[in-house]
């Protein structure tokens, strides 16, 4: 099986102010995602997983390293036509769907906007395609005419997924795309994503902190901390037979039935790793 994403030696540093040291968000990161597979990226907040996703879709520029999509290198000097092709090939679904929806317009307009950008379709053809996409994510035609405020969180996330699929991409990057949903809705959206990947032959890069979600959707997983990859492998290998002390601690700290939050969990985790 060929690789749809190939990332090699990726580095990204953020300079917040003159008073503070630069933050190394990505430190020599190399990742390969197999075509048609789902790669999960896990780690605590600040581990670099979201920066990795944003560099891949072009929302952040890399300092150094190589990124290739379907064998084609991605550079900062892409021409307008190449930028449009990249935007179509790689779509992103964010944690908060409100960011991609105009609260003053019906949600169907968000999907129609993608169709107008990438395909030479007539208005009637776009309307028909919006209907098809809505049905593919479990929404009725009437939902397309609704304002975002009239939809539930799960329904809005389904619109965001339909919007991503409208471009007919090869890759979808999902950044904590189900973390804000209720457990029952989360399960429905995960099943939807699984079915769409199977039917469309898509590849996913799935950013999450929830290890139970990783087991439900991913084939492979990488574990990140402080901009570096500490462990990688199949889901069964990494979650059932972790080699890194950090991965084992993540598994130990994962919420279990009856779990109640307590203060200092992350501080405790970091102190145990340091020791």
- Share of residues in the chain with pLDDT > 90 (%): 53
Tell which residue, 169, 58, 151, has the closest CA to residue 114: 169
Residue 81, SS3 per DSSP? helix
The CATH number of residue 67's host domain is 3.40.50.300
pLDDT tens digit sequence for 237-261 = 999 999 999 999 888 877 665 545 4
What is the domain count for the chain?
A: 1
Find tokens 């580095």 and name the residue: 11
Look at residue 164 and tell me whether its pLDDT is greater than 80.
yes
pLDDT at site 127? 93
- 233: containing domain: 3-274
Q: At residue 235, does pLDDT exceed 90?
A: yes
Given a contact cutoff of 8 angstroms between Cβ atoms, the answer to whether 161 and 137 are in contact is: yes
The pLDDT value given to residue 76: 63
Q: Report the b/e string of 53-89 with b at 16+ CB within 10 A.
A: bbbbbbebebeebebebeeeebeeeeeeeeeeebbbb
pLDDT number for residue 261: 47
* Mean per-residue pLDDT, 211-222: 92
Distance CA 151, CA 170 (A): 28
Are 239 and 216 in contact by the 8 Å Cβ rule? The answer is no
40 band by pLDDT with thresholds 50, 70 and 90: very high
What pLDDT, on a 0 to 100 scale, did the predictor assign at position 67?
92
Range from 9-23, 67-81, 105-119 carrying the lowest mean pLDDT: 67-81
Name which of 2, 1, 52, 60 is nearest 31 in CA terms: 52
């Amino acid at each position: 099986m060929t690789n749809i994403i190939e990332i090699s030696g990726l580095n990204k540093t953020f300079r917040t102010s003159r008073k503070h040291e630069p933050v190394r968000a990505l430190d020599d990161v190399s990742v390969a995602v197999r075509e048609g597979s789902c790669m999960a990226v896990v780690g605590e907040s600040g581990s670099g997983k979201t920066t990795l996703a944003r560099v891949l879709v072009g929302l952040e520029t890399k300092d150094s390293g190589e990124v290739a999509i379907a064998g084609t290198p991605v550079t900062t000097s892409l021409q307008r036509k190449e930028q449009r092709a990249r935007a179509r090939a790689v779509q992103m679904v964010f944690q908060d769907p409100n960011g991609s929806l105009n609260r003053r317009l019906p949600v169907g307009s968000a999907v129609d906007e993608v169709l107008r950008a990438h395909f030479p379709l007539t208005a009637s053809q776009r309307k028909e395609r919006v209907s098809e996409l809505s049905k593919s994510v479990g929404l009725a035609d009437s939902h397309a005419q609704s304002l975002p405020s009239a939809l539930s969180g799960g329904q809005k996330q389904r619109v965001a997924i339909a919007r991503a699929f409208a471009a007919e991409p090869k890759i979808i990057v999902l950044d904590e795309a189900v973390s804000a949903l209720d457990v029952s809705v989360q399960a429905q959206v995960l099943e939807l994503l699984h079915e769409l990947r199977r039917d469309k032959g898509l590849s996913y890069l799935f950013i999450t902190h929830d290890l139970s979600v990783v087991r439900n959707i991913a084939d492979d997983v990488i574990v990140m901390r402080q901009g570096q990859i500490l462990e990688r492998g199949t889901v069964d290998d990494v979650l059932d037979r972790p080699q890194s002390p950090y991965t084992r601690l993540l598994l130990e700290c994962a919420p279990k039935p009856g779990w109640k939050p307590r203060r200092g969990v992350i501080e405790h985790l970091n102190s145990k790793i340091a020791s």
